């Protein structure tokens, strides 16, 4: 390692030491609980928790510009524990010894500028941050690295042993949970609950491949979540859903990376996030707030949360402008291609409600917005993005649909730069693309395929269909040459190629 060549002012800080004084705080009754407990909701009032650091003011003793330098130089380190989300150790989990940190390649995802063509079509400059390039192909790995590291920390400290970790999932949480727990080996086993027929086959294959116990349950995600909650109050299990406040801490890394990706300049930036359980948007706002309070960034970006009209409880909640009059009402979801965000009763609703107020107050103006989009627009935007060199999933399409809508409503202007969360890799949701291309999207989705967007393979067969190559019987040289010429001519004809 080249630590010796690092600048003097950051040398003492470059390898983080265990510090901080973390605790859980209830969002309902404000009671505080020690961090060394497996705790998901307040034992007094059953409300969700957030993790705070009593020593957070210590972070301000280091000037913002020095923090920036620390994080920039940390990028050069080769210590596995610091290569992912824990580059921001002091802000993510300062109590965590490096030996307890699990790193499977999460975080540090690329920020890809929208192609020239796409920028012109949409009418402003924007970027996709490709969180589908995480190890289990979604952003959930960020929070999972944090939550599973926190379990390893408790195991290492001999506070717990032989853990059974459980979660309910719209697909990606279970993939991440199964991956990270399997890495820890037999000390921790995982069980995941999935709504039957409501996750893609790729998402189902992931926890199966990682060796988790997979239970499929009739109903939707919200029903699975109730079962997991019931289990976690009656049995000694570790909950890996975003109820677990460690998940939120880990997901804050998304904001820290954006700040660093844009060289700490958040002026005229808008960050666009799809909302399901609302864990991610809570974490993203929290992350920017922490960096703002530590003077690492000098302004807060706009935050735009997007929901499909088929599953929009958070959008509905914020329709009421007077926050003292807002009342949360869960919705019954309808089918959505943004299936990972198809949630009617978001677990993190109290967190969003709380953090939005704080965010707007710090920004000094309304800085968090909620947008509702149509299924048609989600699907068409995803296909448009991917035809222009991106790898957006349906939720990434939802972000682009949200951006288009935000421009229309004047929430962003073309003088701003938007950063869209491509929350998972396109291939996880290719089943929806497939249904669209085959014009087989079930009615409830309210999507009519645009013929221009449809793309299907063409099977090219030779005139003589008995003369085709096979692994069992090779063609004779002459026949094979004929086959090659015949097929080439047919392709050339389809592509309108002329002999040069
Ligand atoms: C989980 C998930 C979401 C929604 O995030 P929340 O934290 O539940 O709001 C969006 N997109 C993808 C791909 C997801 O896996
Ligand atoms: Zn409480």
Burial class (CB in 10 A: 0-12, 13-18, 19+), 50: buried
pLDDT at residue 91, rounded to an integer: 98
Looking at residues 239-257, what average pLDDT do you find? 97
C-alpha 66 to ligand 1 mean position (Å): 33
- Give the ligand 1 atom nearest the CA of 275: 9
Percent of the chain with pLDDT over 90: 95
Looking at residues 407-424, what average pLDDT do you find? 98
- 424 CB under 6 A from ligand 1? yes
pLDDT at residue 124, rounded to an integer: 95
Nearest CA to ligand 1 atom 8: 277
C-alpha 277 to ligand 1 mean position (Å): 7
pLDDT at residue 3, rounded to an integer: 83
Looking at residues 333-339, what average pLDDT do you find? 97
- 294 CB under 6 A from ligand 1? no
- 341 CB under 6 A from ligand 1? yes
C-alpha 324 to ligand 1 mean position (Å): 28
Residue 180 · residue 148 · CB < 8 Å: yes
The answer on pLDDT for 4 being more than 90 is no
Q: 500 falls in which pLDDT band (50, 70, 90)?
A: confident
Other Cβ atoms less than 10 A from the Cβ of 286: the count is: 23
What is the per-residue pLDDT across 191-242, written as a single tens digit (0 to 9) for each? 999 999 999 999 999 999 999 999 999 999 999 999 999 999 899 999 999 9
Report CA torsion sign: 145, 148, 151, 156: negative
pLDDT at residue 1, rounded to an integer: 59
Looking at residues 455-472, what average pLDDT do you find? 93
- 316 CB under 6 A from ligand 1? no
Please check whether the two domains, 111-136+252-445 and 139-248, share a CATH topology: yes
- 375 CB under 6 A from ligand 1? no
C-alpha 31 to ligand 2 mean position (Å): 6
For a mutational test of ligand 1's pocket, the pick from 424, 425, 428, 430, i.e. the residue with the most ligand atoms closer than 8 A to its C-beta, is 424
For a mutational test of ligand 1's pocket, the pick from 177, 276, 345, i.e. the residue with the most ligand atoms closer than 8 A to its C-beta, is 276
Q: 5 falls in which pLDDT band (50, 70, 90)?
A: confident
Nearest ligand atom owner, CA of 272: 1
C-alpha 348 to ligand 2 mean position (Å): 15
pLDDT at residue 499, rounded to an integer: 87
The answer on pLDDT for 415 being more than 90 is yes
Nearest CA to ligand 1 atom 1: 340
Looking at residues 139-158, what average pLDDT do you find? 97
What is the per-residue pLDDT across 92-145, written as a single tens digit (0 to 9) for each? 999 999 999 999 999 999 999 999 999 999 999 999 999 999 999 999 999 999
Q: 473 falls in which pLDDT band (50, 70, 90)?
A: confident
Residue 361 · residue 390 · CB < 8 Å: no
In this structure, what is the dihedral angle of CA atoms 196, 201, 207, 208, given to the nearest 10 degrees?
90
Between helices 64-74 and 253-261, what is the axis angle to 10°?
90
Note the CATH number of domain 139-248: 3.40.50.1100
- 276 CB under 6 A from ligand 1? yes
111-136+252-445, what's its fold?
Rossmann fold (3.40.50)
C-alpha 182 to ligand 1 mean position (Å): 22
Return the domain boundaries, the chain: 111-136+252-445, 139-248, 458-500
- 312 CB under 6 A from ligand 1? no
The 3-state secondary structure of the chain, one letter per residue: CCHHHCCCCCHHHHCCCCCCCEEEEECCCCCEEECCCCCCECCCCCCEEEEEECCHHHHHHCCHHHHHHHHHHHCCCCCHHHCCHHHHHHHHCCCCCHHHCCCCCCCCCCEEECCHHHHHHHCCCEEEEEHHHCCCCECHHHHHHHHHHHHHHHHHCCCCCCEEEEEECCCHHHHHHHHHHHHHHHHEEEEEEEECCCCCHHHHHHHHHCCCEEEEECCCHHHHHHHHHHHHHHCCCEECCCCCHHHHHHHCHHHHHHHHHCCCCCCCEEEEEECCCCHHHHHHHHHHHHHHHCCCCCCCCEEEEEEECCCCHHHHHHCCCCCCCCCCCCCCCCCCCCHHHCCCCCCCHHHHHHHHHHHHHHHCCCCEEEEEECHHHHHHHHHHHHCCCCCECHHHHHHHHHHHHHHHCCCCCCCCEEEEEECEEHHHHHHHHHHHHCCCCCHHHCCCCCHHHCCCCCCCCCCCCCCCCCCCCCCCHHHHHHHHHHHHHHHHHHCCCCCC
Looking at residues 414-429, what average pLDDT do you find? 98
On average, the pLDDT of the chain sits at 96
- 395 CB under 6 A from ligand 1? yes
C-alpha 240 to ligand 2 mean position (Å): 20
- 393 CB under 6 A from ligand 1? yes
- 340 CB under 6 A from ligand 1? yes
- 242 CB under 6 A from ligand 1? yes
Q: 313 falls in which pLDDT band (50, 70, 90)?
A: very high
- Give the ligand 1 atom nearest the CA of 171: 15
């Amino acid at each position: 390692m080249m630590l010796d060549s690092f600048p003097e002012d950051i040398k003492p800080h470059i390898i983080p030491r265990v510090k901080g004084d973390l605790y859980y705080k209830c969002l309902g009754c404000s009671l505080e609980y020690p961090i060394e407990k497996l705790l998901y909701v307040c034992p007094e009032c059953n409300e969700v928790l957030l993790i705070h650091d009593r020593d957070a003011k210590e972070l301000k003793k280091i000037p913002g510009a020095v923090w920036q330098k620390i994080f920039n130089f940390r990028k050069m380190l080769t210590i596995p524990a610091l290569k992912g989300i824990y580059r921001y150790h002091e802000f993510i989990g300062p109590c965590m010894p490096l030996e307890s940190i699990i790193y499977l390649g999460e975080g540090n995802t690329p920020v890809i500028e929208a192609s020239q063509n796409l920028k012109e079509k949409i009418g402003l400059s924007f970027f996709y941050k490709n969180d589908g390039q995480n190890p289990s192909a979604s952003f959930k790995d960020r929070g999972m690295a944090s939550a599973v590291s926190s379990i390893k920390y408790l195991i290492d400290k001999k506070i717990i042993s032989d853990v059974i970790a459980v979660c309910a999932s719209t697909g990606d949480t279970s993939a991440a949970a199964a991956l990270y727990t399997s890495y820890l080996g037999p000390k921790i086993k995982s069980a995941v609950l999935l709504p039957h027929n409501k996750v893609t086959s790729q998402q189902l294959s992931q926890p199966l491949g990682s060796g988790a116990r997979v239970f499929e349950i009739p109903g939707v995600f919200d029903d699975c979540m109730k079962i997991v909650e019931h289990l976690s109050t009656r049995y000694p299990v570790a909950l890996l859903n975003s109820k677990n406040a460690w998940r939120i801490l880990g997901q804050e890394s998304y904001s820290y990376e954006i700040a660093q990706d844009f060289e700490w300049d958040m002026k005229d930036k808008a960050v666009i996030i799809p909302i399901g359980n609302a864990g991610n948007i809570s974490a993203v706002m929290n992350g920017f707030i922490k960096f703002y309070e530590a003077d690492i960034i000098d302004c807060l970006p706009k935050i735009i949360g997007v929901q499909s009209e088929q599953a929009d409880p958070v959008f509905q909640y914020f329709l009421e402008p007077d926050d003292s009059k807002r009342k949360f009402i869960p919705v019954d979801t309808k089918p959505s291609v943004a299936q990972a965000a198809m949630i009617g009763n978001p677990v993190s609703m109290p967190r969003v409600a709380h953090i939005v107020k704080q965010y707007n107050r710090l920004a000094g103006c309304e800085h968090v917005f909620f947008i509702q989009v149509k299924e048609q627009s989600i699907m068409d935007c995803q296909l448009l993005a991917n035809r222009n060199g991106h790898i957006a999933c349906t939720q990434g399409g939802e972000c682009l649909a949200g951006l288009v809508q935000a421009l229309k409503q004047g929430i962003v202007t073309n003088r701003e730069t938007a950063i869209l969360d491509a929350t998972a890799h396109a291939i996880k949701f290719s089943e929806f693309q497939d249904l669209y291309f085959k014009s087989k999207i079930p009615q409830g989705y309210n999507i009519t395929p645009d013929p221009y967007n449809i793309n299907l393979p063409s099977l090219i067969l030779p005139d003589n269909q008995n003369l085709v190559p096979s692994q069992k019987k090779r063609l004779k040289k002459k026949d094979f040459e004929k086959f090659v010429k015949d097929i080439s001519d047919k392709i050339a004809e389809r592509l309108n190629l002329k002999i040069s």
